[in-house]
Structure formats: structure tokens, C-alpha cells
Amino acid sequence: MSSGEKDLKELMELLNNKAFSNSARLGIMIALYYENRMSFTELLNFSSLPKSSLSFHLQVLEDEGFIKTYKVFSIGGIRTEIKITDNGKQIIKKYLSYIKNLKEENKK
């Protein structure tokens, strides 16, 4: 098995994970990978999802251990913050690496 085939197989296994089988959750994770932490409102604006859908996707990601949600107090009131976990960072780093390797393999 070539390294490209191996990367493709591992990428497909990753995408079969409940947390990543949905493009909205994958997008949320990639945004959090680059930003490290975002407020619920920021993710709402970024994703263009309804509040209930975003809440559902965040719950799935938190149940899998990829993000942590918590409340913070601010001048405007209580805000929900979402932070990517170390496990979440590792998974997205792998995902991005698979994509990069497949892209490079395709150029050959």
C-alpha cells in the first residue's frame, strides 16, 4: 500500500467518526483549531447555523472529547466559550496532514 493509499484510508476512517461525519462539525473543529477558542456567538456567525443546530453539533463534539464548553462572565452578561481540547487539536492536525499528503501525492 502506497503512502497516499494509506493516508486516504486513514482519512476515510477519521471521517467515519460520528463527530466528523458532518461537514458543519468538521468546519467548527477547523475554525477552533486555528482560533483555539471562540464564543458561541462567534461560531454562530461563522457557521451560519441556527442556534439549536450549533448547540447540537457542539454537544456531539464535546461528548467525543474534542471541545470543551464553559461559561464566562463579561460586562454584557454570561457568555458561552468553546475551546478545542488537545485531543481535538491532534485529530484536526491529522486531518489537515492527510489532506496535504493526498494533495502532494496527486501532483506526482
pLDDT at position 1 is 60
pLDDT at position 2 is 63
Q: How far, in Å, CA of 62 to CA of 69, rounded?
A: 7
pLDDT at position 107 is 65
Q: How far, in Å, CA of 1 to CA of 11, rounded?
A: 15
* pLDDT tens digits for range 97-106: 877 877 776 6
Q: Read off the pTM.
A: 0.83
pLDDT at position 108 is 60
Give all domains of the chain, ordered by start, each with its CATH number: 3-107 (1.10.10.10)
Mean pLDDT by runs of 10 across the 108 residues of the chain is 69 76 91 96 94 96 95 90 95 85 68
